[in-house]
């Protein structure tokens, strides 16, 4: 299956201007040492490239501060969504960018002109096999398994197993319409967690459930990032669209980090543009 996602990746003037006032109201007084972000629906529509406007804002921020992106996606998605967009925007100072795929169980830095993986916490073959079996059996049992999808439903991301109900390449509108209340994902997450209690099972993006070793969530990734940079939690400001309890960004809020909850990528864009103008 295929889809045209071009309309989803462009912010209209009205979308951005509608959130500008609230963006100004919550700005820090100065540019934080580290700005950290969720990816899907915070910096771009789900599984799509950073909009040009967002890439340009990142290009303006990188010479001035450190940026981090942490998401359940694998590094291939980071390349297509973030790295390629920044290359097109002519971004420099990429050494100030920290990429943390699979909820921080992998960490990449730009060194000597190339992206270098600094660590990976790989699942064992046994853990992968049990996770794959548990999530497929549970999805079929709950009537959430589809034979007609856009791409792979199950994905081995080395340090994470991901189930995507409609497939990795599903169009944005289909993803948003699949489980608007989150009830399907929660039912699946709960069932899988019963079957593999030694692993961590989390609701991920719009249609996904992620499985890692226990305790490996975005808060874990943030702690590893702080260890790598020598920064304090108070140095960071985190932007996410799912900070509420049960949301895939909640762990960062629960650890006491300074956070900004956004309504979508146009909201993030307006806030960052206002921060640059401050």
Instruction: Identify whether 38 is a catalytic site residue.
Output: yes
Instruction: Identify whether 137 is a catalytic site residue.
Output: no
> Could you say which of 40, 41, 249, 267 is catalytic?
40
CA atoms within 13 A on the CB side of 67: 26
Residue 38 is assigned to a ligand binding site: yes
Residue 267 is assigned to a ligand binding site: no
Q: Which residue has the tokens 């060194």?
A: 111
Q: Which residue has the tokens 């762990």?
A: 251
**Can you tell me the distance from the alpha carbon of 251 to that of 224, in angstroms, rounded to the nearest whole number?**
14
Residue 2 is assigned to a ligand binding site: no
In the three-class reduction of DSSP (H, G, I as helix; E, B as strand; rest coil), residue 117 is classed as strand
Residue 40 is assigned to a ligand binding site: yes
> Could you say which of 21, 38, 198, 267 is catalytic?
38
Q: What does the DSSP assignment read for 71-103?
A: -SS-HHHHIIIIIHHHHHTT---GGGEEEE-GG
Residue 14 is assigned to a ligand binding site: no
Q: What's the Cα-to-Cα distance from 242 to each of 23, 120, 165, 182, 226, rounded to whole Å?
A: 17, 25, 19, 12, 22
**Can you tell me the distance from the alpha carbon of 185 to that of 203, in angstroms, rounded to the nearest whole number?**
6
Residue 206 is assigned to a ligand binding site: no
Binding residues: 38, 40, 157, 208, 210, 241
Binding residues for alpha-D-mannose 1-phosphate: 157, 208, 210
Catalytic residues: 38, 40
Binding residues for Mg(2+): 38, 40, 241
């Amino acid at each position: 299956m295929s889809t045209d996602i071009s309309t989803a990746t462009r912010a209209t003037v009205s979308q951005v201007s509608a959130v500008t006032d609230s963006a100004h109201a919550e700005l820090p007084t100065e540019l934080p040492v580290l700005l950290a972000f969720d990816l899907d629906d915070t910096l771009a529509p789900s599984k799509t490239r950073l909009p040009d406007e967002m890439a340009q804002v990142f290009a303006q921020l990188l010479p001035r501060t450190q940026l981090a992106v942490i998401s359940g996606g694998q590094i291939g998605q980071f390349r297509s969504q973030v790295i390629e967009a920044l290359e097109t925007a002519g971004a420099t100072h990429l050494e100030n960018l920290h990429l943390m795929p699979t909820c921080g169980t992998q960490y990449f830095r730009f060194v000597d002109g190339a992206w270098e993986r600094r660590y990976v916490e790989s699942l064992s073959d046994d853990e992968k096999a049990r996770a794959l079996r548990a999530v497929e059996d549970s999805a079929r049992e709950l009537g959430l398994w589809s034979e007609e999808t856009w791409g792979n439903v199950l994905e081995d991301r080395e340090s994470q197993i991901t189930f995507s109900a409609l497939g990795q390449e599903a169009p944005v509108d289909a993803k948003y319409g699949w489980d608007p209340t989150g009830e399907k994902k929660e039912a699946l997450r709960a069932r899988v967690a019963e079957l593999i209690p030694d692993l961590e099972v989390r609701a991920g993006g719009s249609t996904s459930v992620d499985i890692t070793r226990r305790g490996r969530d975005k808060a874990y990734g943030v702690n590893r990032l702080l260890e790598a940079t020598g920064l304090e939690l108070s140095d960071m400001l985190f932007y996410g669209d799912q900070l509420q309890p049960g949301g895939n960004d909640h762990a960062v809020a629960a650890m006491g980090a300074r956070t900004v909850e956004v309504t979508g990528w146009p909201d993030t864009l307006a806030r960052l543009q206002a921060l640059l103008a401050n």
